């Protein structure tokens, strides 16, 4: 891995340096499939960069880390460029000072890979309407994480009001194994679901989103109950005529699936690191219609006081 630092630089100098470094190594940037723009503060950049780099092993990318520094300082752009034959792409850390903090899009635009998708990720605080943000406007996909908000449940509940096709949230991505398991449970015939409960640690934003998805798919009232955690711990669905379909997880690794007339089954249902969640989202660059339907249903449930 080669690291090259530029201080008080410009986007054009960064671009020419990237080209020069790649050609020196005999590895021009023809194998990269997208540009991943990560908007983060200094405190969160280490963890975000690690997750983005790990995800890029599956999706070789140009990673642009936009780190907003002090807007009161004089205008300055510092860059740290990392490339290497063993690296899954290119990494550029951009530290913006002064008025540049309000015009980060003008810095990023010349650095986007030509004819490849752009994905924007906010690991921490995100704009109220991501698609209308100058940086968010550059992306065909925009990834947020409600869990990083001060009130995570309120954050995920508000997503419907700002939704634009291409938006998604890692609170939704964390539900993929749960949704897959619950969907598979209905491969065998059973009675109509009349209601249910999603159990999770208090304040977990994935819980109301899972309840909204179930409500939308089953057309049955789904409630939310607090548990000791960690994360999601269970789903209980009442079946017409008696009996329950349940998924119970107490150790964040394995769950027990119970269905009437069937023996209990232990299944893997581990909590996943951010890098795996991000890699999953980078596999699809089209709008997620099921996520859109679920957050709309969540907004309806919130309006009726059920979430």
Does the pLDDT of residue 86 top 70, yes or no? no
Among 108, 148, 95, 130, which residue's Cα sits nearest to residue 274?
148
pLDDT confidence tier of residue 229, bands split at 50, 70 and 90? confident
Highest mean pLDDT among 27-36, 163-172, 181-190: 163-172
Task: Count Cα atoms within 13 angstroms, Cβ side, for 114.
Answer: 3
- What is the per-residue pLDDT for 32? 80
Q: What is the pLDDT of residue 27?
A: 57
pLDDT at 292: 96
| Residue-wise pLDDT tens digits, 251-301 | 888 999 999 888 999 999 999 999 999 999 999 889 999 999 999 999 998
Given a cut of 70, whether residue 1 has pLDDT beyond it is no
The mean pLDDT of 198-208, rounded to a whole number, is: 96
Contacts with 30 (C-beta within 8 Å, 6 or more apart), sequence order: none
**Torsion sign, CA atoms 216, 241, 265, 189:** negative
pLDDT in tens, 49-76: 999 999 998 888 999 999 999 999 999 9
pLDDT score recorded for residue 155: 94
| Nearest Cα to Cα of residue 168 among 302, 19, 292 | 292
Confidence of residue 166 (pLDDT cuts 50, 70, 90): very high
Mean pLDDT, the chain, integer:
91
Backbone angles phi, psi at 106, to 5 degrees: -70, -25
**Rounded CA gap, 254 and 240, in Å?**
28
- pLDDT for 92-125, tens place per residue? 999 999 999 999 999 999 999 988 999 999 999 9
CA dihedral 95→100→105→109, nearest 10 degrees, is -70
DSSP labels for 3-41? Answer: EEEESS--HHHHHHHHHHHHHHTT--TTS--EEEEEEE-
Three-class DSSP labels, 156-225: HHCHHHHCCCCEEEHHHHCCHHHHHHHHHHCCCCCCCEEEEEEEEECCCCHHHHHHHHHHHHHCCCEEEE
pLDDT digits (tens, 9 = 90+) for 113-159: 988 999 999 999 999 999 999 999 999 999 999 999 999 999 999 99
Residue showing tokens 């007339």: 261
pLDDT, greater one: 256 or 4: 256
* Backbone angles phi and psi of 209, in degrees to 5: -70, -40
pLDDT of residue 261: 85
pLDDT digits (tens, 9 = 90+) for 24-43: 766 555 578 899 999 999 99
What is the rounded average pLDDT of the residues 238-243? Answer: 91
Count of all residues that appear for the chain in the document: 307
Measured CA to CA, the distance from residue 288 to residue 140 in angstroms comes to 12
């Amino acid at each position: 891995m080669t690291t090259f630092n530029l201080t008080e630089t410009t986007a054009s100098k960064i671009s020419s340096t990237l080209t020069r470094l790649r050609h020196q190594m005999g590895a021009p940037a023809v194998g990269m499939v997208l540009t991943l723009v990560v908007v983060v503060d200094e405190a969160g950049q280490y963890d975000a960069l690690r997750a983005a780099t790990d995800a890029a092993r599956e999706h070789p990318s140009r990673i642009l880390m936009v780190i907003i520094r002090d807007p009161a300082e004089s205008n300055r752009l510092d860059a740290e460029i990392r490339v290497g034959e063993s690296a899954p792409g290119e990494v550029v850390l951009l530290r913006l000072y002064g008025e540049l903090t309000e015009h980060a899009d003008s810095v990023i635009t010349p650095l986007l890979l030509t004819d490849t998708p752009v994905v924007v990720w906010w690991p921490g605080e995100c704009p109220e309407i991501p698609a209308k943000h100058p940086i968010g406007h550059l992306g065909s996909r925009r990834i947020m994480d409600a869990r990083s908000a001060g009130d995570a449940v309120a954050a995920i509940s508000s997503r419907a009001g700002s939704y634009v096709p291409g938006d998604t949230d890692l609170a939704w991505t964390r539900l993929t194994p749960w949704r897959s398991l619950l969907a598979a449970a209905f491969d065998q015939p059973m009675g109509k679901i009349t209601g249910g409960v999603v159990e999770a640690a208090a304040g977990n934003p994935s819980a109301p989103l899972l309840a909204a998805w179930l409500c939308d798919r089953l057309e049955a009232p789904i409630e939310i109950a607090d548990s000791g955690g960690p994360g999601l711990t269970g789903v209980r669905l009442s079946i017409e005529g008696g009996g329950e379909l349940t998924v119970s997880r107490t150790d964040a690794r394995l769950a027990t699936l119970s269905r009437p007339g069937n023996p209990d089954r232990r299944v893997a249902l581990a909590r996943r690191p951010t890098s795996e969640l991000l890699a999953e989202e980078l596999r699809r660059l089209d709008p997620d219609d099921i996520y859109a339907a679920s957050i709309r249903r969540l907004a309806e449930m919130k309006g009726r006081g059920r979430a």
